[in-house]
Structure 1
Amino acid sequence: MRAVIFGSSGLLGRSVLRAFGDTAVTGTGFSRAVGGLVRVDATSADDIDRLLGRHRPDVVVNCVGERRPEVWEGAPAQALGRNVDAARLIARGVHRCGARLLHISSDYVFDGTAPPYRPDSLPNPLNAYGRWKLLAERAVRAACPDAVILRLPVLYGPAQFAAETNLTVIARQVGAGARVELDDVCVRYPTHADEAAEVCRRIAGALWHGQCRGSVVHWSAEQGFAKFQTALLIARRFGLSAGHIHAGETDAASGDRPVDCRLDCQDLPAGLRPVRRRLFSAEFPPVVEPWLAPARPALSRREEP
Structure 2
Amino acid sequence: MRAVIFGASGLLGRSVMRAFGDMAVTGTGFGRTAGGLVEVDATSPYAIARVLGQARPDVVVTCVGERRPGVWSFAPDRARESNVDAARLIAEGAHREGARLVHISSDYVFDGVTPPYGPDSLPNPLNAYGRWKLMAEQAVRAASPDAAILRLPVLYGPVQHPAETNLTEIARLVAAGAPAELDDVCVRYPTHVDEAAEVCRRLADALLAGERLGSVVHWSAEQGLTKYRMALRIAQRFGLPTGHLRPGDADAASGDRPVDCRLDCRDLPEALTPARRLFDIEFRPSWSPG
Q: Which moved more, 1:137-146 or 1:70-79?
A: 70-79
> Does the C-alpha gap of structure 1 residues 217 and 223 become closer, same or farther in structure 2, counting only changes over 3 Å?
same
| AA at the equivalent of 1:157 | G
Matches within 5 A, 1:278-297: 278-280=277-279, 283-284=280-281, 286-287=282-283, 289=284, 292-295=285-288
> Does the C-alpha gap of structure 1 residues 273 and 217 become closer, same or farther in structure 2, counting only changes over 3 Å?
closer
The answer to whether the 8 A contact 1:92-1:144 is kept is yes
Tell me the residue number matched to 1:276. 275
Q: Which moved more, 1:228-237 or 1:169-178?
A: 228-237
State the 1:7 CA deviation: 0.2
CA deviation vs aligned residue, 1:211-253 (integer Å, no higher than 9, x gap):
2356100000000100011111111222211111111111000
Give the TM-score taking structure 2 as reference length: 0.97
CA deviation vs aligned residue, 1:166-217 (integer Å, no higher than 9, x gap):
2111111100111111100000000000000000000000111112356100
- Asked whether 1:203 is paired with 2:196, we answer no
Say which SS state the counterpart of residue 158 (structure 1) adopts: coil
Aligned residue pairs: how many? 290
Tell me the residue number matched to 1:84. 84
- Asked whether 1:13 is paired with 2:6, we answer no
The answer to whether the 8 A contact 2:153-2:220 is kept is yes
State the 1:72 CA deviation: 1.6
> Does the C-alpha gap of structure 1 residues 107 and 273 become closer, same or farther in structure 2, counting only changes over 3 Å?
closer
Tell me the residue number matched to 2:230. 230
Aligned partners of 1:241 and 1:154: how far apart in 2? 25
Matches within 5 A, 1:1-305: 1-212=1-212, 215-268=215-268, 270=269, 272-280=271-279, 283-284=280-281, 286-287=282-283, 289=284, 292-295=285-288
The answer to whether the 8 A contact 1:155-1:190 is kept is yes
Say which SS state the counterpart of residue 217 (structure 2) adopts: strand
> Does the C-alpha gap of structure 1 residues 249 and 39 become closer, same or farther in structure 2, counting only changes over 3 Å?
same
The answer to whether the 8 A contact 1:186-1:258 is kept is yes
| AA at the equivalent of 1:53 | G
Any stretches of 5+ residues in structure 2 without a counterpart?
Answer: none
Q: Which moved more, 1:49-58 or 1:160-169?
A: 160-169
State the 1:80 CA deviation: 1.0
| AA at the equivalent of 1:173 | L
Tell me the residue number matched to 1:303. none
Aligned partners of 2:79 and 2:12: how far apart in 1? 18
